[in-house]
Structure 1
C-alpha cells in the first residue's frame, strides 16, 4: 500500500478521534420538575446562611448545582456559582469567591440573562467594598440596579449601599436606606433584612453618640434575630448593646450583654463549627475539581473502547504527546508574556483607579459643599422673604413699602441665583432625567409668556407667539424642563431688548405616526452678540463683558442651563446674531404625540382660593425665626397651630393630640423630618403631612414620599404656593373625611 496514502489515512483517523473526544457529551438525566427542586435547595441555602449554618448552606447548594448540571440548566448553574461565591466570602475565602465568580463569567458570556448579570455586578460591588473602593462599588451597584428589578436583589443592594454610605460618612443617606429596609416587604428575607437594618442603625447612632436611638434599634435587632435564630446577628446585637450601655455608663446592663457574648462564644462560635464549615467548603471545592477530572477520564475511556487499539492508540499517543509538548512550550512562553503584561496592566490600573477615585471624591466634595451651602442659604432667605411678605401686608407707609419691595426683590434674586447654580450641578451630577408625561405644548408656551409679560412691559417689549397649529395638541415629554428652557431663553431675550419685540416660534418639521420633530426659535431685535462673544456665551457666568453685566444684571447662567437641559433631550442650541440688530436662538426636539387623548383633558391643576379658617395644624420647625414667620403666615388665613421644635417632640405631640395636618421640616438636628414621618405613620396612616425643605442636591423627593409625606414645599416658598398646598392636602382631606 502506498505509504503516503497510509499516512493520510492515519491523519484523518486522528482528526476524527480528536473531534469525537471534544464533542462527546454524556446525556443529562431527566428529573421530575427539576426547577422546583433547585428552588427548594436555594431556599434551604438562604435559610441556613442567614442562621449562620454555612456548612449546611454549602451542602444544600451543592445539591442544587448537581441538579442544575444534570438537567443542563445553565441559568440555574450561574445562580449556584453566584451563591457559592457569596458563601465563600462569608468564610473569608476571597480567592475561592473569585474562582466561582470567574466560572459564572464564562457561562454568562453565552447567555442572555439580565438577572444573572445583575447579581454578577452585585458580587463585584461587594468585592470592591471589601477592598475599600467605595465609589467604584456604588457605580457597580447602579449598574446592577439598571439590569434587574428583582425585589430581593434590590433590597440587598440597598443594604450594601447603606454600609457604603456609612463608610464615606454620608450618614443621612445611610439612615434613610436602613429605615427603608426596616419596613421592607421582601418575600424571601424580610426578617433577615430587617435585622441587618436595625443593626446598621445601631452602629450608625452609636458612632454619632446618639445612645438612646442606638439602644432602641439594638434591642429591636436582638428581638428579631432571636425569633429567627440568626446566631451571628444575635452575637452582634449583644456586642453593640454592651458597648452602648457602657458608653452610657450603665455598667450593670452592659455586663448583662457582655455575659451573653461569652455564652454565645462558647455555644455558637465553636472550634467544631469552624472545622465543619472548613471541611464542607474544602470537600465541595475538591469534589468539583475531581468531577472535572473524572469527566475527562470517562471521555478518554469511551474513545479507547470504540477505537482500534492496535494502531489508533499508538498514533493518538504520539500525536497527543507532540501536541501537549508544543502546547506546554507555547503556554510557558505565553505565561511569561502574560505575567509581564499583567504587571504592567495592574500598575496602570492602579494609577487609573487612584486618579478616578480622586476625581470622584472631588466631585462628591463639590456636591456636598453645594448641598450644605444651599441649605444654609435657603434657611435665612426664608426669614428674609417671609418677613418682607408679612410686613408688606401690614399697610406700611409709602417710603417703607419701597424699602420692603427692594428687600423682597433682593431675596428673590438671591434665591434664583442659588437655584441656577444647583440646577447646573444637578445636571453635572447626573441627578436629572427627562420625564415622559402628557402635556399641551401651546399651554406651556402661553404660560411662559404670561409669567414674563410684566418684565416685558417694564422694558416696553412686545412678546409674540408664532405657533404652528399642525403640531399635535397632546404630546409626551417633560413639560417642566421645556418650560425652564423657554423661561431662560425668553427671559434672556427680554433683558437685552428694550423697546422692541421678542418672537417665540414653534413649527412642525416632521410627523411619522407618534414620532414628532418640532423646530423652536426665540428671536429678538435687541443689542445682539458679537462674533467674539458668541464663542463662549454658553459658558457659566458668561455675559459677554463686564459692562453688559453691570448694565443689564443677571448671573450669566441662563444659557448654560438651556444648553445642559437640551443635552438631556439629545438636542443642541444654536445661535445666529448680529451686533446691534438682535439675536436668534433655535433648536429641534423629538417628541411623541398622543392625539388619542380627548381635547378637553385638563393638563394643569386649577388653583383654588381655599377658605382655610378653623384648620388646626402641627408645625415642626427647629429654627425660632422660621417658627414665628410660619405661625404668622398661618394666622393670616385663620389657621391655628402648635409648634414642635424637633422631630422627637413632633412624634409625641402627633400621638397625643388631634391635628388636621402636619407641616414637617426635613432637616433638623437629632431625628430628621423623614424619620419623624416614618414614626408617625406607624400609628397614624391618614393624617396629611407636607414636607417643608430647603432642598439640596442629595435630597430625594421619592424618599420623602416613600417615608409617608403627601406633598413637598421647597423653602423659601411663595405664600400663594404654601396656602395652595395646605388647601389641596389638608383642607380637602378634612372635607372628604367629614363627608364619608
Structure 2
C-alpha cells in the first residue's frame, strides 16, 4: 500500500505556507485551511484503521475544495479516497476517483502528485489482474520520481520498484524481478527510518525466492539466510518463519536433506511459538515425510512403485471410460446443442447479476458482523474481568449468588458473540480442520462437566454411554468436536425440563490407521415437527416464534454444527417426534497414533516467579479496563503504572524505566499505533504488546510495522495473557 507519510508532508507544507508566508486574507484562504484540516483528520483515521471515518473526511474535503474551485486539493482528496478504497478492496469505487485525480494533476502539471496517482493506479490494475498495464504505469511513476530528485520521493520510488518486482516475479520473469528488488533495496537502505528494516528483510526474502526459481541455489541460500537473520534481529515473525521454510526447500534442492529437515523442524517450532500452528498439520507432516524419504530412500521405493502402478492402471481405465461416455454423449445430443447454448447464455447473464448482488450483500454482512462483535467484546472485557476479580475476593454467600448469576449471563453473552464470529468465519471458508492428538473421553467429560449445572437448574440428568473399545489417543480436531457436542447437548437441555439427555459414542470399525465413530445426542424434550426438521439447520432458525420467546437463543447452534461436520466430511442426521424428544446423530473418522505419550493440547509454559516485580505500563483510556488489568497484574506481584492516553505514555516511557508496555489501540488524541511509532523513535528495545479488541487477522503486518512485538486480543484467558508477556520479556532477554 502507498505510504501515507508523503501525503502528510504535502499537507504540512501547505499549512506552513499559511502560517509563515502570509496571513489569511479572505474567506477562500480560510476554507483552504479547512480543506487541509479535513485531509489530515482523514489520514489520522487511516492510521487508526477507522476507514469509514477517513472516507467521510476525504469526501468533505473534496466537496469543499470544489466549492472554492481549488482543483489541486480536489485531486489530492480523490487520490486519498482511491487509496482507502484500494485498502478495503472496493476497486469499483477506487477507479473513478484515481481517474479524476490523474486528469487534474496532468492539467495542473503537478508531477509529484501525478507520480503518486500512477503508483496507486498500477496497484489497482494489478489487483484486477491487468498486470501488463500495471507495469506501464509503474514505469511512468518511477520515471517521474527519479526526475524529481526530492528526498520525500525515495520512499515512494522504493515502493514502486518493489511492486514492479513482485508483478514480474508472479509472471515468472525472475531475472527482471531481481533487478527491481535490488533497486528498491538500495533506496530502503539509504532511508534512516528504522521501520524500513521490515521492508529490507522482506526484499531479501523475495530476492531469495527468485534465485530459487532460477535454480541459483547458492545466491538464494545467501539471501534467505540474511533475511532470516534480519527478521530475528527485528522481531519479524512472519518473515522469520517464511525464511526457514524457504531455507528447507533450498537445502533439499541442493541435495542436503539433513539440513532441510533441520530447517523444517525450526519452522514448525517457530510457527507453534508465534502463531500456535499445530505440529501435526497435514502440510508439515507431508514435508517431513518427504525429507525422511530422501534420507532413508529404501523404506519408500517399493511402496512408491506399487502406488505408481495402481495410479497408472486407474487412470487408463478412467480415461477409456470417459472417452466412451463422451462419444456416446456427443452422438445423442448433437441436435440439442444449439438450443441448450442459447438457454445457457441467458441463464449465465442472470447468474452474473445474481452473483454480483450476493457478493455485495456478503460484504455488507461481513462488515456489520465485524463491527458489532468488536463493539460487544470491549464491554464484555469489563463484565468478565470484574466478575472474575469479585469472585476471587471472598464475597458473602448472598453476594456470591448474584455474582454467579452475573458470570452465567456474561458467559452466555460471550458465547453468543463467539457463535456470530464462528458463523462468519465458516461462511468465509476461513476455518481449517486441525490434525492434533487428543483424548476423546477427556474432551467429552469436560463438556458434560461444563453443562452439568445448567442441566441441574432445569431438572435434567446427563447420561454418557461411552464405548470402552475407543482408543485413548486419536488424531483429529479436538476443538470442533467440543463445539459440536456443546451445541447439541445445550440444544437438548434448552428444550427439555425434568427429563434426560443421553450422549452415546460407539466405535463402528477400526484398523491400524483410523477409527470410525458414531455419535448420538438424544433428549426427552419438546421434539420437532416434520415440517420444521427441513429448516432447523439453517442460520437463525428455530421451531417457531413462540419457541424463541419461550426458550431463547439465536438459532445459530445447529447451523454451526452442520458446517463443522461438513468440514470433517460428515453429515448431521435427525430423528424427532413432537412431545417425545429428538435424537441427533453423525459419524466421523479419526486417525490413530502410535505415540501414546504425545500431549493432548498445548500447555502454557510460564515462569510466574520471573514475572514478579516486573514494572509494567498499562496504556488504556477506559477506567474500568485500567482497574481490571492492574488487578490481574498486581495479583501476580507485578508493578503496574497507568497512562490515560498515548501522549502521557510517550512521556512516561521517555523518563521512566519499564520492563514492558501494554498498549490499547483506540484512545482519544493519538492512537496506540501512533504512540508506539513515536516510542520506537527513541526506544527500539522496549517490549510493547497491543492489548485490544480489534480484529487483526488480515492486518497483522500493520501492527508489526508500527513497532509492536505481539498482540493480545480482548477478552483473553489469563494464562494466555501472562504467556504473551512472559514470551515478550524472554525474547528481549529481560528474563532468562
Give the structure, 1 or 2, with the largest relative contact order (CA under 8 Å, sep 6 or more): 1
Structure of greater Rg: 1
